[in-house]
Structure 1
Amino acid sequence: MGLARTHQRLSDGWQVRRAGMADWHPVQVPGCWEDTGIAKDDPGPVDYRVSFDVPDLGPGERLRLRFGAVSYACTVYVDEQPVGEHVGMWDAFDVEVTAAVQPGARSTLRVRAEKPASLTGGPDAPPVPGSYPTRETLVGFLPYVWGHVHGGIWQDASLVVTGPVVFGDVHATGTPDGALSVETSLSGEWPGSKVALTVTDPDGAVVAEDVREAGSPGDGEGNPAARFDLRLPSPRPWSPEQPDLYTVRVRLLTNARADAGADGSDIDVAPSDERTVRIGLRTVAADGARLLLNDAPVYPRMILSWGWNPDVLYANPGPDRVRADLLELRRLGFNGVKLCLWFPPDYYFDLADELGMLIWVELPMWLPHPTEHFRGQLDTEAERLVRAARTHPSVVLYTLGCELSAVVGDDVLGPLYAKVKGLVGDALVRDNSGSGEAYGGLLTEYADFYDHHLYCELQHFRETLEHFAPGFREPKPWLFGEFCDLDTFRDLRRLDAAGPRPWWLSDDPEVNPQGARWQYDSHLHEPRLRANGFWDRGNQLEEISRKQALLHRKVTLETVRLRADTSGYVITGERDTPISTAGLWDDLGELKVDAEEFRGFNDNLVVGLGWDRRRTWLAGGDRPAYGDPWCHLEGALVRAHLVLAHHGRDPGVVTGEWSVGFEGEEPFAHGTYAPAGVRSPGTVGELAVAEFTAPAVDRPRQAVVRNRTRVGTPGVTGPRGTTEETANSWPMWFFPARPFDDAGALTLADPGGRLADLAKLAPEAGTGLSSTAVAIATRWSGELDDHVRSGGRAVLLVDAASGGPFGTVAVPFWREGVKVPEPHPAWGDFPHDGSVSLQFAGCATDLALDWNVGSIPAGAEVSPILRRVDARTAQVHDYAAELRWGAGRLIVSTLRFEGSAGDQPRGLARNTGAAYLLSRWARYLREV
């Protein structure tokens, strides 16, 4: 789009009506028609109108309407004459209206638009009536975030005066050595026209000028064009640390005259047009598993953005908001954003260029029904969007769609990859974010990098990484296009105190229709929380869940960073939405985490912990013998390997120190290190082993392992001589050596052998059931029922094979749920601060107790010990509870005291924290 001689924003006086209705109502432009009261699931058509004064036009000048974006398909009328059409909700377009207006007169513009028709009740439901069903359009993910998508003129509309020929595409690229290429295309031919080029450096000084004849092939479509290839003096490359930008200005020049006027004389015309773009001198490449920016390793640390803004329904929050968000993301350690299945206004890219934030553009293709209309639009819209993004130095990655199944085949992805790859130059491109192997899609990939969306429970994350990184695969950068989410609790009382409750919490389907959302529970949270007794505990749940979310992300990111074959990641997500509270910002725009603490594991330099390996001989063969790295018995030898992931700016010598100590006390172990040699960016390697003997304790105690590391460049001064630092810390718990000594008499009823190694910890434990001993059982039986009913005490560890009257439900332990330790005496002195941290890592489970299923007796009074409040549904389940069962007492739990899932400890004897908790329950039942 060329920069015109005059430019008038059409931002005031707009009116809107549902097509076929008589009354017009004011509407904001840019904005969306839903804000005027039109139902959110109504696809239209909807009419917009505004009147404007037609400017005077000089000889040869043209009048154009310019739209930043309209959702989704529209027809444009001037004084009720149709002047143009457009299909596609994300890209800008022009409509020439010269022949439809009279200069100096007043005209009326009308835009009739129709948005993609939403679905009636989830992603697989039928669509509402409409010309463009959601799944047959490139609508992206927003309909699945809040049920629908915005309709109408959601970016600027302008009236512009141009010459008869304007620039179509200006593609400028530069490399760090100063090589600059500029290619322009024009909307038509004009005799004798030339293109003038001016380049200014980041300080505003002119560093290059040139003029070329227009006419050489440019954009592959046969339009007249000019191409410039030159070298800039003293080039300043663009990077996240130094986002220097050059300004490229092209102008159309001509001395031609138009045909004769009415009196037979020639008419002077002004076909001039100009365009200005900002560019950065940079290159992107892959070197095995490393992603290179300007030939130096770069590790993208991105946040996932769906284009959702809680205060507006359309994806245009304004440049001030975007600037503030990007600056805050940098403070959190991020260096980029993935635009997941949406495409922003131009200013978003401009700000990313200016602030040094990397951008991953993902074409808005998700869950498609690839009809003939869809395929045609995909090819057309993809090219428009890529052309709009490709000049920006911040854009380094592209994906053609997200989590695509086999419905999008080789016939679509192959040609599309070739087209996009041919347009974007050296940026890396992938066909399917998430991969076909993970989502049942195309297995013959078109991809410059690997990309998986691993939403994992902590205990299964390492084995999942190994599964998706076979040793035989071709070395390529490996990025996680989205992962590492954890929903926090949404305290509706806090939202109520801040103002009117958001519409998506309404239980009125007219106000809050489900649409495409699969998660449609938010409006049910209040009644569910009131029914289960948690309504007044919102502050507690919010605080607990935020601590647990920070922990989950810390462990996940450190696990990724400590692998040399990983190349970057995208954390889900930017802000809370109606379907998920996994954002780093909540619904009120408040940050949920401490920025300094978060940056400790999300920065250029990250130090994580590794552990010694052990093996065990089991059933005639070797197997990994995982231990509990976070919980240790007094007197045990602890060896924590400090590992540095160096993705900083410069190579350097590493120095640092570590310590371990109890809160408020001097460290009981510490050390320093200075590994020999220089560590280079893009490397992962061990720094030292923090080795010490676990201190003697008379009760469980939590300590903190702390580390501070510096990477410096001795003897180098100036910008590349700075020292980078990182600090990190981890909790660790220490327990008495013989946890079962005070638990009293025990018996074990364990026909499946889940706790076969209990004898190592409690050698006096018997078998069977005894009225004088607490029974630990892993299978329900009539004998156990009778034992407890008659006054006995027992702990029953429930799994899928346990049987009995206790219902269970499969739910994640770390993700989506808030773990709430209730103030029950069964905890004894087991360490927790009212939350669940890594002392529970060894017994995390994928089952919870569901009291609505099963057949426990009506008189079996339940006292919860460890509860789970689902952050998405507000349903409550238990991981552990005490039941008064007849004359006796029974603790029932789904926790995995034997570990053995993923990288959990293998067996109770190695599961230090879990074993101590089991001993506390046994002691409580003996004493109660």
Structure 2
Amino acid sequence: MLSYHMPLPGPWEFRFDDQSDWRPIAVPGCWEDAGFVKDRSGPAWYRTSFVIPHELEGRRLFLHFGAVSYHCEAFIVRDSGDMCSIGTHTGMWDAFDLEIGDAAAPGEHVTLLVRVEKPASLSDGPESASLPGRFPLRETLAGFLPYVWGHSHGGIWQEVALIACGATRFLDAWVHGAPDGHIFVEAELDGPARVTLELYRPDGSFILSAEEDAVRVETASGIRYRLHMDGPTSDARLWSPDDPALYRAVLRAGYDDRIELRFGLRSFDADGATLRLNGAPIYPRMILSWGWRWETFAPNPGPERVRADFERLKRMGYNGIKCCLWFPPRYYFDLADELGMLLWIELPMWLPRVTDHFRRQTPVEYERLVRQARRHPSVVLYSLGCELGKDVGADILGSLYAMTRSMCGDALVRDNSGSGEAYGGLLNEFAQYYDYHFYADLHFFRGLLDAFSPRWRPAQPWLFGEYCDYDTFRDLRRYRRADGSRPWWLSADLAINPTGARWTNEAPFLEERLRAQGLWERSAELEAFSYAHGLLHRKWTIETTRMYREVSGYVITGEADTPITSAGMWDATGALKYDPTEFRRFNNDLVALIGWDRRRDWVRGGDRAAFWDVWSYNAGTLVRPHVIVSHYGAQGGPARAAWSIAFDDEAPFASGDIVASHDVMPGDVREIGVAEFTAPDVSAPLRAMFRVSLNVGTQRTDNAWPIWFFPANPWATMRNVAIYDPLGRLRDLTRLAPQVVEVTHADLRSEAGARVDLHAAPFVVVASAWTRALSMYTRGGGRVVLLQDGDGPPGPVATAAMPFWREALRVCEPHPAWGDFPHDGWAGLQFFGCATDCALDTQPLDGLTRPILRRIDTRTTAVHDYAAEVVWGEGRLIVSTLRIYGGAGEQPSGIGRNTSAAYLLLCWVKYLGSKR
């Protein structure tokens, strides 16, 4: 905050270089938001007129620009027509000042002209040709936003103001404090001055004042004057997310040059894998923000909107935000300081093309940005870029890392978020913490954690710089305005919605596809299902993460829906998708978790880990959830848990209390006891909720998980079931149903020497592979359940590789084959043991198939099936890519341990057995 600050708000006037007519435009703002073409890089001209106040006589005058994208030159035009350039600037994120000097004097009416060029976008995706322009996108630090909506925003997107100072002005100032109350002041000035410092407490009361002369030094930029002051203050009140106490410093130099800064007393460091704020463990739970604002294009929505976003993120349990490949306006930092939101600043290096311009410009911009960010106690982490490949080597990252480390105080720094190991970049990293980006199907996630755990590597914090996305289904009917129009990013008109740098632009075509597939009228239902899917996906992933003491924090993808992904906490209307209370149960300082016993198998002469369906149990089975606490709250103390399990709308059928034998301290991840009970006797499958209420000292939390219960020995009465198992995946079924018979090609063909006459009784054949013999058997009237593997022999239905849990809806369509299998219309954790990485393409068999379990891609709306009934000649079969036999990742080892999947198979067999 300076002593004189006169904003120059819009409307200004605007035109492109080859146009003659001026049109009004908002400043701050960008030309795309004003309706000008999105894929044109300029040059463009801005102009406005103002009178320089008389009272500024004798002062130095500057024009302050909050940010301009990307390169600009400013001119002052006097009423006489004289035009004078007052300077240029390159870089789209940082604030800068241009001195007016002799170009104009107080009392004059002047016109300000600003010539602007933004990064020239790409024509059709990240690897496509560049559009015309002086500054190709990939040679600039444009960040990720162009890949979100196609282009960089262009123009004067933050405030412009006239500012004034005395003969000497502050070029930079940084005030920061330590938990012991020690305060450090650093400043750089462009002339000699005696600097006065005033300090004020968070409540506004005065602490002290001090004076000191700035010292003359020679720098690469010329002669500068630097100031270092430090000293203690009493009654220190520390800054933290729970108590974001802000002190205030006022610095004065010479004639009425004044700068005011808010700062916090805090420290941030690492003790092995533990991050510490003010010496106490802290667990960053951040949301990934790309700065996307579809309403304004530029990431400058204003303080009120940012405050509202921060406050609802805090309600969901988040304590921080990762600014991923963009740099926010100053008020964003100020609000993070004020509200206690930790910030991870990821500097905007993404898919760069390393040219001479890039090499020269990057360190210049990074120094400016770090100087601006380091003033804020909320900033605790930096990364120099994201998912960088081999093109960005040690010659670039090493020097940038050293510079950032030297400037940023006690914040932690790394070169490449995501790691060179995972993205083909620099392997000998420059980093103070480990950082990976895991976007995984649930059953493979724990394996990733085990494989990437640092273990024997140097002890450092381990953070997920982004992970845990889930794209929800968009009910596009909610995006129609009263006049029938829709947001620009849903337009198929390339003049309105050009593809640009995006590698995907699916949104404009979703409605047409949904209508063609008969799904348009089901949009509300599908959106609700996807929100349930999303909550499950986030909960399971985050809870699994919290069980690993090696993990120090995470960043969840992402904050808001964008044109290329719908993985936001809120949709494009700004509506939250998840209930904050539910989300906070697993995204908070104190979280209750459950784990399970371990088992092993002796297989082919050696031990192997054995998994089972921990979410499903047959009646009479012993169930043993281990109650675990992940604690990063402020207090330690005795831990106590109350647990219960009950069917919906019924009293608990089991409950108990657990008192830990030890105190739980901040930073602990540990078991506090086991809840043990016997699975109840049920005549049909039922879901129950296992609930835990947990106290550590005076801190309390609760959590809940679904567990399904099935009848004991449900296969016992089944007859006339055969196994045809060329791939050797189904033999475990005999553990559940010894009466099941195994058949061969000869049995299917009824050849001489056949051991089983499949036509003498209404057999249902469960098969692991599609063969000519099985096809002929089915055509002749047979009934078959085919478990078709995308990596195995081709089947009657083509398959396609795709994730099960991510980017998709799993809809249980109305079909009698479900029998009494429990579901709520969508596939939850009762499908954990049979999740698959391929699906059926049933579209070519239109009219011959009926879906059972359907997959709807939430990004493209492409429809596939995980299970479908198929008419095959005179016979019928259920074809499924579900892994009823488990075995992928931490799925159950075989059908015999895959309780829920085995029951689903039974339902299918019963259904086909009845179709005679």
Taking structure 2 as the reference length, the TM-score comes to 0.96
Residue 207 of structure 1 is matched in structure 2 by 207
Q: Deviations over 1:578-605 (max 9, x none)?
A: 0000001011100000111100000010
Select which of 426, 430, 434 maps to 1:446.
Answer: 430
Q: Deviations over 1:114-161 (max 9, x none)?
A: 111111111111111111111111001100111111100000001122
Select which of 517, 523, 526 maps to 2:511.
Answer: 526
1:469-618 paired onto structure 2 within 5 Å: 469-496=453-480, 500-618=485-603
User: Is contact 1:807-1:852 (8 Å) kept?
Assistant: no
Q: Deviations over 1:661-706 (max 9, x none)?
A: 1111111111111212321100101011011110011000000000
2:238 partner letter: P
CA distance in 1, matches of 2:836, 2:452: 23
Select which of 813, 816, 836 maps to 2:807.
Answer: 816
1:786 partner letter: M
2:687 partner letter: Q
Q: Indicate the larger mover: 380-389 or 58-67.
A: 58-67
CA distance in 1, matches of 2:160, 2:765: 75
CA distance in 1, matches of 2:253, 2:105: 27
Select which of 54, 62, 65 maps to 1:56.
Answer: 54
Secondary structure of 1:224's aligned partner: strand
Secondary structure of 1:130's aligned partner: coil
1:217 Cα deviation from its structure 2 partner: 4.6
1:225 Cα deviation from its structure 2 partner: 2.1
1:835 Cα deviation from its structure 2 partner: 1.3
Say if 2:314 is the partner of 1:330.
yes
User: Is contact 1:184-1:218 (8 Å) kept?
Assistant: no
CA distance in 2, matches of 1:287, 1:918: 50
Q: Deviations over 1:146-178 (max 9, x none)?
A: 111110000000112222321011011110101
CA distance in 2, matches of 1:429, 1:571: 19
Select which of 77, 80, 101 maps to 1:98.
Answer: 101
Say if 2:346 is the partner of 1:340.
no
CA distance in 1, matches of 2:659, 2:22: 73
Residue 14 of structure 1 is matched in structure 2 by 12
Residue 36 of structure 2 is matched in structure 1 by 38
Select which of 750, 764, 775 maps to 1:774.
Answer: 764
Residue 730 of structure 2 is matched in structure 1 by 755
CA distance in 2, matches of 1:338, 1:358: 8
Aligned residues with identical type, % of pairs: 53
1:888 partner letter: G
CA distance in 2, matches of 1:630, 1:310: 41
2:770 partner letter: W
Find runs of 4+ consecutive structure 1 residues off by over 6 angstroms: none
Secondary structure of 1:367's aligned partner: coil
Residue 849 of structure 1 is matched in structure 2 by 840
Residue 196 of structure 1 is matched in structure 2 by 196
Secondary structure of 2:464's aligned partner: strand
Say if 2:669 is the partner of 1:696.
no
User: Is contact 2:442-2:805 (8 Å) kept?
Assistant: yes
2:764 partner letter: V
User: Is contact 2:788-2:795 (8 Å) kept?
Assistant: no
Residue 858 of structure 2 is matched in structure 1 by 871
Select which of 378, 396, 412 maps to 1:412.
Answer: 396
Secondary structure of 2:307's aligned partner: helix
1:497 Cα deviation from its structure 2 partner: 5.2
2:279 partner letter: D
Select which of 819, 827, 830 maps to 1:828.
Answer: 819
CA distance in 1, matches of 2:342, 2:639: 27
Secondary structure of 2:842's aligned partner: strand
Secondary structure of 1:420's aligned partner: helix
1:461 Cα deviation from its structure 2 partner: 0.2
1:25 partner letter: R
Residue 428 of structure 1 is matched in structure 2 by 412
CA distance in 2, matches of 1:59, 1:109: 19
Select which of 335, 340, 343 maps to 1:359.
Answer: 343
Residue 26 of structure 2 is matched in structure 1 by 28
CA distance in 1, matches of 2:795, 2:596: 40
1:737 Cα deviation from its structure 2 partner: 1.6
Q: Indicate the larger mover: 824-833 or 207-216.
A: 207-216
Residue 919 of structure 1 is matched in structure 2 by 906
Q: Deviations over 1:514-537 (max 9, x none)?
A: 011112111110111111111111
User: Is contact 2:56-2:164 (8 Å) kept?
Assistant: no
CA distance in 2, matches of 1:47, 1:419: 35
Secondary structure of 2:661's aligned partner: coil
User: Is contact 1:165-1:272 (8 Å) kept?
Assistant: no
User: Is contact 2:53-2:107 (8 Å) kept?
Assistant: yes
Q: Residues 620 and 497 from structure 1, CA distance in 2 versus in 1: closer, same or farther, beyond 3 angstroms? A: farther
Q: Deviations over 1:396-444 (max 9, x none)?
A: 0000000111110000111110000000111110111011100001010
User: Is contact 1:880-1:895 (8 Å) kept?
Assistant: yes
1:220 Cα deviation from its structure 2 partner: 8.2
Is there any run of 5+ residues in structure 1 with no aligned partner, and where?
254-270, 713-722
Taking structure 1 as the reference length, the TM-score comes to 0.95
Residue 259 of structure 1 is matched in structure 2 by none
Residue 752 of structure 2 is matched in structure 1 by none
Q: Deviations over 1:784-822 (max 9, x none)?
A: 111111111001111121313321111110000011110
Residue 80 of structure 2 is matched in structure 1 by none
Residue 304 of structure 1 is matched in structure 2 by 288
1:446-465 paired onto structure 2 within 5 Å: 446-465=430-449
1:57 Cα deviation from its structure 2 partner: 5.7
1:311 Cα deviation from its structure 2 partner: 1.6
Residue 131 of structure 1 is matched in structure 2 by 134
User: Is contact 1:143-1:516 (8 Å) kept?
Assistant: yes
Residue 754 of structure 2 is matched in structure 1 by none
CA distance in 2, matches of 1:386, 1:302: 20
Q: Deviations over 1:632-658 (max 9, x none)?
A: 111011111011001101111111200
Secondary structure of 1:879's aligned partner: strand
Secondary structure of 1:421's aligned partner: helix
CA distance in 2, matches of 1:8, 1:575: 34
Residue 828 of structure 2 is matched in structure 1 by 837
User: Is contact 1:185-1:218 (8 Å) kept?
Assistant: no
Say if 2:364 is the partner of 1:380.
yes
Aligned residues, how many? 892
User: Is contact 1:660-1:667 (8 Å) kept?
Assistant: yes
1:18 Cα deviation from its structure 2 partner: 1.1
Secondary structure of 1:33's aligned partner: coil
CA distance in 2, matches of 1:96, 1:590: 44
Secondary structure of 2:664's aligned partner: coil
Secondary structure of 2:472's aligned partner: coil
Residue 884 of structure 2 is matched in structure 1 by 897
Residue 665 of structure 2 is matched in structure 1 by 680
1:904 partner letter: Q
Residue 243 of structure 1 is matched in structure 2 by 244
